[in-house]
Amino acid sequence: MACDYAFLPVVSFILNVICQVFGMRCIKSLGLLKSIFFGCAFGLVILSITIFIYLNGKANLSQIIYSFVTYGALSYCYFHFINLGETARRIRLLRELMDSKDGLSVSEILEHYNAKEIIEKRLGRLIKSGQIIYRDGRYYIGKPIMLLIASIIVKLKLIILGKRSEFD
């Protein structure tokens, strides 16, 4: 009976993923990042409600902490799984090679991976999302949400790996 609550974060996580996929496919204004946050928030609400209902208000602190830490860990891994497939150049390059019947030459690869174009695209996405602002020929921080997320990730790496980056 003591571990009956163990499935709650897993079920909430599954609903998180379903909600994220639904949001991404059916609510075009969300976009990928917002759909991930949408799904995560939905799963968190579901988890909170089910903890209250399922444990009938009798949950002890360790059960609540277990549930939220497990849900957070699953959601964190899911975020990075999606991020890996969307942003990693190695994954993208492998997908492009797979889609090319005749393979790709070095010059064809370099056409797709021009550093100037990559930076321009990233800056464009950051400006479009409001994360940075372009004013008077210079870039500035706009909405600091990704900066906050990056800071949290650096702190987690420091706690878990003992260093700020895998390059340290």
State whether the Cα torsion 49-144-154-123 is positive or negative: positive
Residue 144 falls inside a structural domain: yes
Residues 127 and 100: their CA atoms lie apart, in Å, by 32
Q: Do residues 91 and 85 make contact, with C-beta atoms less than 8 angstroms apart?
A: yes
Last residue of a domain, one of 32, 55, 89: 89
Distances (CA, A) of 156 to 13, 36, 68, 87, 160: 21, 20, 17, 21, 6
Evaluate if residue 1 carries a pLDDT over 50.
no
Residue 106 falls inside a structural domain: no
Shared domain for 128 and 73, answered yes or no, is: no
Residue 72 falls inside a structural domain: yes
User: Mapping DSSP to helix (H, G, I), strand (E, B) and coil, where does residue 34 land?
Assistant: helix
Residue 63 falls inside a structural domain: yes
Q: What percent of the chain has pLDDT over 70?
A: 92
Query: pLDDT value at position 137?
Result: 92
**Nearest C-alpha neighbor of 40 from the set 32, 155, 66, 132:** 32
88 or 142, which is more confident: 142
Shared domain for 84 and 121, answered yes or no, is: no
β-partners of residue 139 are: 134
Distances (CA, A) of 43 to 5, 51, 127, 135: 16, 12, 29, 38
Residue 121 falls inside a structural domain: yes
Q: Residue 34 is part of which domain span? A: 4-89
Shared domain for 13 and 83, answered yes or no, is: yes
As given in the structure block, the two tokens for residue 168 are 């340290």
Does the pTM surpass 0.85? The reply is no
Query: pLDDT value at position 57?
Result: 63
Shared domain for 137 and 76, answered yes or no, is: no
Of 24-28, 137-141, 161-165, the poorest mean pLDDT is in: 161-165
Evaluate if residue 33 carries a pLDDT over 70.
yes
